[in-house]
Amino acid sequence: MCPDARLIAELEAVFAGKRNRVFASVTDDIEFTDGLIIPGWFRQNRMAAVLSPPIAAPLVLVLYETERQWYQQFSQKRRGKREERTRLKGRAAIFPSLRGWKAPKPPPEVPSEVDAVSDDIDEVQTEIDDSFRQRVYAQVRSGESEANARARLVLFTGGVYGLFTDNYKLNVVTHLLDGSVDDDDEKTSVKLVAARDVGVGDAVVFRPKSRDLIREVADEFLQPGQRDMSKEWQRALQKYIDEHGLSAEVVCDRLKKAGCKSGSQAIRNWISDEDMIAPQQYRNDVPAIAQVTGDTDLAGKIDSVVDAIKQVRSAHQQKAPRVIAKRIRQKAATIVRQEQADYSIVHLEGDLVLVRVAEPASDLIPIKYASANRLIEGDSWHE
């Protein structure tokens, strides 16, 4: 059994022409009639499925000393549970209506050969997680003096994390892997979820070299220049603010007087969020922006801007999420195979990676915007 699904092809080539077979996981339809070799301890819950009861005979474990101690502790726990079940199946359990049975003597305590504090694999992993979490928080706090944005910290499996603004949406694909959708449902889509709403265990897809996977795929459906046209309203608004030195409050008041129905916070987001496609009520608000700013370029092509916004929003909210969902479903077997092999970062075609949420999002913290809305590993972008 191979602990890393990515090594299977290499191992299969090594054992080509021989009776040996290489597996990344165990399923009910696989029979190991000639025995099984397991070169390592693959986490306690996974080993329990292999060892209790043994799935093959002979079953050979190849372990380092620390792994051997983990195996010993696992065996001792199993023996303890078995003895407890045996104790409970005494005469009093068989004849509960009869009274007077003597309570069975408790089994003698046997000193553990393994120090549970230092050698328990779950506690070791907890210590590693705590250390990683503290290092991430220290790294994030170190840049607070230069902060120009606020984001939530999300920790993922595999020692990676991200700092996500509230306007940013994560590409959640948990529902595509748990069997809750039909394979032939063409309307199945990636769920776009804010960081504050993701849960532990949610599967999220990234393209590490890109800040916005949805945008990259959406661009495949747009005509040349269509995205730039859809941003004309924001260009005009920012130019107006810069030329007149206006505060966000003044701009909000003037836009509302011109007929904008959006709230003050939403209007502030128009100014600060470079990734925003358009105001929610863009058919009403784009003409109001043209009126307030007096921008002749925007005023002369309002219809074209409105149509471009419509196309860009459709590409972002419908077409791109469905295309990504289709690609994920096509690779679902590969994803499950790698996750069963305890590989915490699943690498897919097209530089895509899939990770699971390890901890819920933090409260908003001050950060540098250059660090926002990306998958990060250690001190650098995850490549």
Rounded mean pLDDT of the chain?
78
- Given a cut of 80, whether residue 341 has pLDDT beyond it is no
Inside any domain, residue 311: yes
Cα-trace Rg, the chain: 29
User: Looking at the domain assignment, is residue 112 inside a domain?
Assistant: no
In a domain, 179, yes or no: yes
Task: Indicate if 238 and 362 belong to the same structural domain.
Answer: yes
Domain boundary among 62, 89, 106: 62
Q: How confident is the model at residue 360 (pLDDT cuts 50, 70, 90)?
A: confident
Asked whether residue 160 falls in the same domain as residue 57, the answer is: no
pLDDT of residue 340: 59
pTM of the full structure: 0.55
For the residues 149-163, what does the mean pLDDT come to?
A: 87
| 155 and 53 together in one domain | no
Question: 13-43, pLDDT tens digit by residue?
Answer: 777 777 777 776 666 567 788 888 888 877 6
71 in a structural domain: no
Mean pLDDT throughout 350-370?
A: 84
How many CA atoms are closer than 13 Å to the CA of 235, on its beta-carbon side? 12
The per-residue pLDDT for range 236-247, each reduced to its tens digit, is: 999 999 999 988
Q: In angstroms, rounded to a whole number, what is the distance separating the alpha carbons of residues 259 and 285?
A: 8
Asked whether residue 323 falls in the same domain as residue 219, the answer is: yes
CA 260 to chain centre: 37
- Of 126 and 273, more confident: 273
- Residue 178: pLDDT above 80? no
pLDDT at residue 115, rounded to an integer: 45
Domain that holds residue 29: 5-62
Question: Strand ranges (DSSP E) for the chain?
Answer: 36-38, 59-61, 149-156, 160-164, 169-172, 191-194, 203-206, 346-347, 353-359, 364-367, 375-377, 380-381
Predicted confidence at residue 130, as pLDDT, reads 67
Q: Tokens 């007096």: give the residue.
A: 294
pLDDT bin (cut points 50, 70, 90) of residue 231 is very high
For residue 45, what pLDDT is reported? 66
pLDDT digits 0-9 by tens, 50-61: 887 888 888 899
Q: Identify the domain boundary among 19, 38, 62.
A: 62
Arithmetic mean of pLDDT, 347-372: 83
Specify if 118 maps to a domain.
no
> Do 199 and 341 reside in the same domain of the chain?
yes
- Nearest CA to 383 among 355, 358, 356, 353? 353
Q: Quick check: 374 and 209 in contact, CB under 8 A?
A: no
Q: Is the pLDDT of residue 66 over 70?
A: yes
pLDDT mean over 270-292: 89
Note whether residue 85 is domain-resident: no
Domains in the chain, number: 2
Residue 226 confidence class, pLDDT cut points 50, 70, 90: very high
Of all residues in the chain, what percent carry a pLDDT higher than 70?
Answer: 72
Q: Count the residues in the chain.
A: 383
Q: Which of 14, 47, 62 is the last residue of a domain?
A: 62
Q: Could you give the CA distance from residue 95 to residue 210 in angstroms, rounded to a whole number?
A: 68
Per-residue model confidence (pLDDT) at position 383: 34
The pLDDT value given to residue 113: 47
Q: Is 203 a member of any domain?
A: yes
**Domain co-membership, 200 together with 347:** yes
Give yes or no: residues 245 and 343 share one domain: yes
**Mean pLDDT throughout 310-323?**
90
Domain-located, residue 131: no
